[in-house]
Structure 1
Amino acid sequence: MTDTGSAATAVNISGVRVGGRPAGCPSSFCGCGAALRVFGRIVPELNLASNWLRFPRTSPAPGMVAARRGHVFILEQHLGRDVWMAYDSNSGGHATRMHARSLRGYTVVNPRG
């Protein structure tokens, strides 16, 4: 990897695979996987990534959620600038990964707010 700005792109399709589609989750499972990580259970209405945007907006911090229409991931650790180590279900190839992600294009929400 090079600078922090390109780290998200460089790792976006790789990173560390930590699993696949969790049992009971639909084939598009980013929202379902995020709910399992945050709440410890499947929350059916959060299977749709855009429903995460109903939570209050907040500043990026560990445990907060980056959401947009079509995808959602959990912020784990700040790496620099707008790049975070993320718990990212359905991050490509039907895998769940821990990898660097940019927050560009995402809204950060507090799922416990």
Structure 2
Amino acid sequence: MSVPSSESSRTEIVSGRPAGCPQSFCGCGAAIRVFGRVVPELNLAANWLRFPRTSPAPGMVAARRGHVFVLEQHIAGDVWKAYDANSGGHATRIHPRSLRGYTIVNPHAA
């Protein structure tokens, strides 16, 4: 699937590893984005799978063993603009990501 060429499909590097996060920091970066702070038990991406399953929506999280990212805005099909910590080269990016292979969870559910 091709991603539409628009402002929402642009890749932007927003930072590196956030302060207080471990070397593998996707879970930690997602926790900072969602909760505003480091949540040590969420440093492990697989622990995000403990949250209830949900449908894709802004603020929800795409998780699998080994990686996690926060959904920001729907682009097209299964492609979302995502806040993606440790998305390669130790960078945190906001960029288009496919949800293929990920489970969508609601970190705000009790």
Q: Give the TM-score of the pair, scaled to structure 1.
A: 0.89
User: What percent of counterpart residues are identical?
Assistant: 79
| Secondary structure class of the residue paired with 2:95 | strand
**Structure 1 gaps, min length 5:** 8-13
Report deviation, 1:67: 0.1
Alpha-carbon distance in 2 for matches of 1:56, 1:32: 19
2:34 is equivalent to residue 38 of structure 1:
yes
**Structure 2 gaps, min length 5:** 4-9
RMSD over aligned CA atoms reads: 1.0
Match of 1:25 in 2: 21
Report deviation, 1:102: 0.2
2:53 is equivalent to residue 57 of structure 1:
yes
Q: Which has the higher helix share?
A: 1
- Deviating above 6 A after TM superposition, structure 1's stretches of 4 or more consecutive aligned residues are none
| Secondary structure class of the residue paired with 2:37 | coil
State the one-letter code of the partner of 2:49. Answer: L
Deviations 1:4-37 (A, max 9, x none): x243xxxxxx820000000110000000000000
2:78 is equivalent to residue 98 of structure 1:
no
Alpha-carbon distance in 2 for matches of 1:41, 1:81: 31
State the one-letter code of the partner of 1:55. Answer: F
Matched residues, number? 103
